[in-house]
Amino acid sequence: MGTRARDDEEATDLRTFHPSCGPVVGVVDGPVVRAWAIPYAHADRFAAPERVAPWTAPLCNDEPAPACPQLPSPLVAAMLGGPPTALVADEDCQRLTITRPSVENDSPLPVMVWVHGGSYVLGAGDEPHHDPTVLVAEQNVIVVAVTFRLGVLGFLGDGSAQRPANLGLLDLIAALDWVHENIEAFGGDPGQVTCVGQSAGADAVSHLMAVPNATRRFRRAILQSAPFGIRWNRSAMVSGMFAHTAGFDAHTSLRDMLATQQKLIVDGPRHGLTGAMPFGVQYGMEPLPAESDVEEAWAATASDIDLLVGCNRDEIEFFVPGVPIAETASHFPVLGRPIRRVVTSAITRKVYSAPTADFARKHAAAGGNVVDYRLHWHAPGNPLGAAHCIELPLLFGIEEQWEGAQLLQGATWEQVEEAGRVLRDIWGRFLRGVDLGEREPREARSVLRYRRVSA
């Protein structure tokens, strides 16, 4: 990671901020200023995150934050048009990057804290497909992208002092604490923080909503494609997984840890749909309540958190190319494609749309303000339809990062941008606390539909 102090700041391309953590130098990049890879915490392997001591010399990182160590996914690489991350990997990955408009504002800006997806084993806050430049410049908001521990390092423990559980979730809480204490110096409003997650990131944010000391750090949440249907009854599977890693300690090589992690992922499907995402949060271990108590915890915080929650029409289509027998069957003459659509629609309902609607209803019933959406936009003629992750190029629309993406085959970049402006406008209004209304405006209907959920 390129870190250096700059005493000879050039006003044309650098800008210094003075948060309580210590001075931070941001790099002006056209319409935005980016402060890369700021340490929000530090942790030894299998240890809870600890606060970083304040520094005095200006911190200027000119490279993205390192990713948590991980193995690549050929499926994700094909779908998104490149690897989920080509970043340097480092266990010491508790970093966040702040992107804000380069123009000065008279009043503090709303803040979006971004929690990436990747089944709790892939991705990073500064993964290039999540470049927030367009969103920040267009909507006049600040985006804080968080990198945190994943897989065996972040989401597999037994709750003991030697192997705590939910370390990745504790990293996210530490990041939210840092944002609360420091974002004002970057022009952000600590009282207008929205925590936004996609896929496993949305699942993580939903569980932050069940943690009182975390919910005080954000006023709103956007949950994109959370796999709510596979979050229950995981303890037996996770206990078996942990048994394969119980001997891991500070001296175990990363290579061996990642090899074991990959075996656990490959073995996951024998546990059914739940095993499609074998790593995840663990109930009944710090900072989460028992599984039987989590809905009560959600209800207790509902009135404090405005919620925008939803999923994509054809979520499961994203994963079909990763299942050879399913992909082969879909090419059978006449019936192959219709059968594939029936099966993927049923699984989408079970894993995503039905439990998402249930989560929204319960949030509203507990006194929360909630809007439930379904995203329909897809590349014309693309058999994947509105699959998992299709909202990402709309939200983070940098053309060169999405070249070759199977998700977008059949669409011109002008079509992606047209849909993206609609989605970013809705997300931006929610970030600013603007009432979205009972239904989506007419011009949004070709992209997504939403409705306010009543108690």
Catalytic residues: 199, 315, 388
Question: Packing angle between helix 200-208 and helix 167-182, nearest 10 degrees?
Answer: 70
| Contact present, 348 and 384 (Cβ < 8 Å) | no
| Sequence-ordered list of residues with C-beta below 8 angstroms from that of 306, at least 6 positions apart, any chain | 219, 220, 221, 368, 369, 370, 430, 433
String of DSSP letters for 417-454: HHHHHHHHHHHHHHHTT----SB--GGGTTTEEEEEPP
| Contact present, 89 and 63 (Cβ < 8 Å) | no
User: What SS3 state is found at 308?
Assistant: strand
Phi, psi of 62 (to 5 degrees): -110, 15
Let me know if 267 is exposed, middle or buried by CB neighbors in 10 A (0-12, 13-18, 19+): middle
Helix (H) or strand (E) holding 158: none
User: What SS3 state is found at 309?
Assistant: strand
Let me know if 87 is exposed, middle or buried by CB neighbors in 10 A (0-12, 13-18, 19+): buried
Closest CA to 121 of 168, 61, 52, 176: 168
Tokens standing for 65? Answer: 């934050």
Distances from the Cα of 193 to the Cα of 159, 181, 215, 297, angstroms = 30, 12, 10, 21
Distances from the Cα of 297 to the Cα of 337, 352, 354, angstroms = 42, 21, 21
**Residue corresponding to tokens 């990198």:** 147
β-bridge pairing 188-198 and 306-312: unpaired
* Measured distance CA(421)–CA(355) in Å, rounded: 28
Question: Packing angle between helix 294-301 and helix 354-365, nearest 10 degrees?
Answer: 50
For residue 442, count other CB atoms closer than 10 A to its CB: 7
Tokens standing for 265? Answer: 């992922």
Tokens standing for 176? Answer: 């939210």
Tokens standing for 438? Answer: 């009972």
Tokens standing for 304? Answer: 């404090």
